[in-house]
Each structure stands twice: as structure tokens, then as C-alpha cells.
Amino acid sequence: MPKVTIDGHTIQVPDGTTILQAARMIGPEVAPPTMCYYSKLKTSGGYCRTCIVKVTKGSDKDPRPMPKPVASCRTMVMDGMEVVNNTSPEIVDARKGVVEFLLINHPLDCPVCDQAGECHLQDLGYEHGLSSTRYDFERRTFERKDIGDKIQLHMNRCILCYRCVKTADQVTDGRSHGVMNRGDVAEISTYIEKAIDNDFSGNVIDVCPVGALTDKTFRFKSRVWFTKPVDAHRDCPKCSGKTTLWLKGEDVLRVTARKDQWGEVEEWICNECRFDKKKTKDWIIEGPRKIDHHSVISQNHYNKLANPHYKKLGK
């Protein structure tokens, strides 16, 4: 069992643990932010580079530091390893650079985006970003694509985290969803524009960290923060039936999977639960859902963040 020290906290972890997992075991104060890693998906991570940390000591056996920041989600812990994250000004600065990259082509259309208030990119920009952008060119745009009657794709907002691709690969049967083209014009696509249509496809909405994939049955019904999340369940033959309902009065505006402390789905849910069960009588309500401590929704930061020009982004 290797021992690792992250930002001064030492912890012993099972073999094969990544730096990110070890940091999460220590707690949110040392855990790096993640935009592409997803613990429920195999081979996720490594793309966005927001989770970078600095390895100041490789291991007891080979104490040399690693020359460059590493993606904590894809780097294994070695015995005696020492890592700095938030305590390293270099990492804090490098992360600002990554956030800037993620934002230069983002449309910042938060005021009309259904994800606003629960968007990981908003949180990331708020907590780790620069106060202004140095990008003064036109932002990239894509043509709108229809991917079926339940899911809306706004490619302009996509950060190419590959989570939805991996979800389609690993959670649904019969993948018809992937990445087309290359570089900064790469886009999420269902091959030959085929609608994603199978029992678990709706989960791509929940894994999407931004508003690129949203629930058409919820579109523009309400701002997230005007709805009341409650945990509920039903006897479902296809999935666990354990969900979060987003209520306004007696109406179920939206059904999602339950998400853990890191914003990740606890259990995948089926499309019937997600899209078709929109009445409170379909559900057994358990009680209010506790919303993650750092979420923009719970901290009322939205007004600052919603400025489409991001002039005042940051603290």
C-alpha cells in the first residue's frame, strides 16, 4: 500500500490508485478539479488538463521530481510520492492557462443555456480562472445538429471531454455516437446523423459537464435554481429507479440521475425514468436532495457569472 502526500496531507492508498483518487480520499480541499475524468467510465481522463498537479518527489525509490505538471487523473501513486496542487503557485497559474484555453471558444451564452447554475465550466472559471480573457478573435461556431427528440446538442458549448462518447460506448448498447473531424473543429456527432435511440442514451446528458447536451423535455421550462430537487425512486424493471426529481410546485420538470459529491452520476438511469415519468404520482419521494457545497446554485454566484462577456469573471 503506497503512501502519498498531497499538499501536506499524507494518506495510504491501495496499489493502482491515481493521484486524483488519493486526493479525493483526502477531501475536497486538496482534490483537483476535473472536467473529463469520470470515475464511472473506463479510460476517461487525460484530455482536459484541469486536474494537473506537480510531483515534487517521484517516490521513495526514485525521489526525482517530475519535470512537468502531470494529469492527476491518469498518474498512478508511487510509494513515498509527494505532490503539490493548490499549494503550488505554479500549478494554480498553469491551471488558469488551461481554463483560459477551455473558455476562448466557449460561447458564454450562459443566460440562455439550460446548464447555467449546474455547469462545471462555470464553477471552474469562477474558482480557477483568470479575471479576463486575452482572446480577441471570433469564437468558433458549429451548425446546429439534431440528435433525436429527447436530447439537444449545442456543439458550440462542448469542451470535447469525451465523457458522452465513453458513456455511449460503455453504458448504452449499440453505439452510434462519436467524434468527427479533428482539432478545434472536432465535433460530437451521431454517425450519419442517426438519432441516439436506446434505453440508456439519456445518461449522456448527465455526464456532460457543460450545456452541450441537454434534456429537450426540460428546455427553457425553468432556471435550475427555481426548481426544487428531491430524491425519489420507483420500481423500474430497467434501472435502479433511483433519481433526483426537479420540481416546480407539483410539476416534475426534469428527472436526472443522482450525483455524488464530485458531480458524478451515482447510478445510471434509463430513458423511461428520465423522459417519460413526469408526474409526482409516478414516484415515491424520499426527501430533499442535498446539493454539492461548491455549486454555483447554492452559493448564488450566478449573477456574476452570467455576464456573457466574462469581464468580471473571478473573485
Partner 1 sequence: MGKKLLIHNEHVANIHTLEVYKQHGGYASVEKAIKTMTPEAIVEEVKKSGLRGRGGAGFPTGMKWSFLAKPEGVPRYLVCNADESEPGTFKDRYLMEKIPHALVEGMITSSFALGVHTAYIYIRGEYFYVSRILEKAIEEAYAAGLLGKNILGSDYSLDLYVQVGGGAYICGEETALLESLEGKRGNPRIKPPFPAIAGLYGCPTVVNNVETIAAVVPIVMMGGDEYAKIGIGRSTGTKLISASGHINKPGVYEIELGLPVEEFVYSEEYCGGIWKGKKMKACIPGGSSVPIIPAELLLKTAAGEPRLMTYESLSDGGFATGSMLGSGGFMVYDEDTSIPMNLYTLNRFYHHESCGQCSPCREGTGWMEKVAHRLAEGHGKPSDIDLLWDIQKRIEGNTICPLGDAAAWPVASAIRHFRQEFEALIPKKEVAH
Residues that bind ligand FES (CB under 6 A): 34-37, 45-51, 71, 73
- Residue 212 lies near partner 1 (rule: CB under 8 A): no
State the minimum distance, in angstroms, from the CB of residue 30 to ligand FES.
Answer: 15
Minimal distance, residue 18 CB to ligand FES, in Å:
9
Using CA atoms, how far apart are residues 313 and 126, in angstroms rounded to an integer? 6
Query: Please, are residues 275 and 219 in contact by the beta-carbon 8 Å criterion?
Result: no
188 counts as binding ligand SF4 under rule CB under 6 A: yes
Closest CA to 233 of 292, 278, 273: 273
With CB under 5 to 8 Å by kind, the binding choice for 105 among ligand FES, partner 1, ligand SF4, none is partner 1
| 182 touches, from ligand SF4, ligand FES, partner 1, none (C-beta below 5 to 8 Å by class) | partner 1
C-alpha gyration radius of the chain:
20
| Binding at 14: pick from partner 1, ligand SF4, ligand FES, none (beta carbon under 5-8 Å per type) | none
CA angle in degrees (0–180, nearest 5) for 252-294-108: 75
CB of 126 to ligand SF4, least distance (A): 18
Question: All 3 cell numbers of residue 173?
Answer: 448498447
C-alpha 209/C-alpha 119 separation (Å) is 6
H/E stretch holding 127: helix 120-128
Helix (H, G, I), strand (E, B) or coil at 162: coil
The item of ligand SF4, ligand FES, partner 1, none sharing an interface with residue 51, based on CB under 5 to 8 Å by kind, is: ligand FES
Work out whether 25 is an interface residue with partner 1 (CB under 8 A): no
Residues with Cβ < 8 Å from 178, sequence gap 6 or more?
Answer: 165, 168, 188, 189, 190, 191
**Where in 150-179 is the site for ligand SF4 (CB under 6 A)?**
158-164
Residues that bind ligand SF4 (CB under 6 A): 158-164, 188, 207-210, 212-213
